[in-house]
Amino acid sequence: MNQAKFLLMLASAAIQLTLPMSPAALAQALAPGDPSTIGKTFLTSEHGRRVQISDFRGKVVFINFWGNWCPPCMDEMNSVRDLQVALKDQRDDVAFIFISARPQTFQADIQWLKQHGIAGQDYQWGPRFPEQRYAFFGALPDQISFSVPTTYVLDRNGAVAELVTTPVDWKTHLHTFLSLLSGRPAEPHNLN
């Protein structure tokens, strides 16, 4: 290949990289449930401390998108508390992350969790990158509004072990947590 042809190909590639991707092309380039993308997601605590989900690697991670204005979410929290009691001997190996679905109710969500004895940390999340929204919900930000409660359970390596998009009795999922805590990795999980 001569130098002129190579430079032309290089310039063409550079131009394509600077052009915005169409939503369809971007969706094809993204992977729902991608542990790397989920792990890079930043959350902000009530004190303004930023953490990445990957900071919890090595633990089984329970991520619950919720709000205290959501009756099914609040009903589900009773079973989350029961699950936490059942896991009391393994509590150091499980991270309970609650993500307020509405930024305007963040402080009220924090207070609700404290008043009802739910262990864990409530965070704010603003999907800064389309791939984060896609990794969690399988669609780009302008294509979907997600429903709550939505819960992810990640294995110790950050892979999705379970995705639940309805309220459930989390005590019935105790076996999943015990299996993941014993070191068994998550089974491949299709989010679609």
* Concatenated DSSP letters of 67-89: -TT-HHHHHHHHHHHHHHHHTGG
Residue with tokens 């669609």: 139
User: 39-181 has which fold?
Assistant: Glutaredoxin (3.40.30)
Full-prediction pTM beyond 0.85? no
Query: Domain coordinates of the chain in residue numbers?
Result: 39-181
Rounded to whole angstroms, how far apart are CA atoms 131 and 128?
9
Q: Is 146 left (phi over 0), alpha (psi -120 to 50) or beta?
A: beta
* Ordered per-residue pLDDT tens for the chain, 192 residues: 555 444 444 334 333 333 344 444 444 444 456 677 788 888 889 999 999 899 999 999 999 999 999 999 999 999 999 999 999 999 999 999 999 988 899 999 999 999 999 999 999 886 655 666 666 666 544 545 667 898 999 999 988 888 888 899 999 999 999 999 998 766 654 443
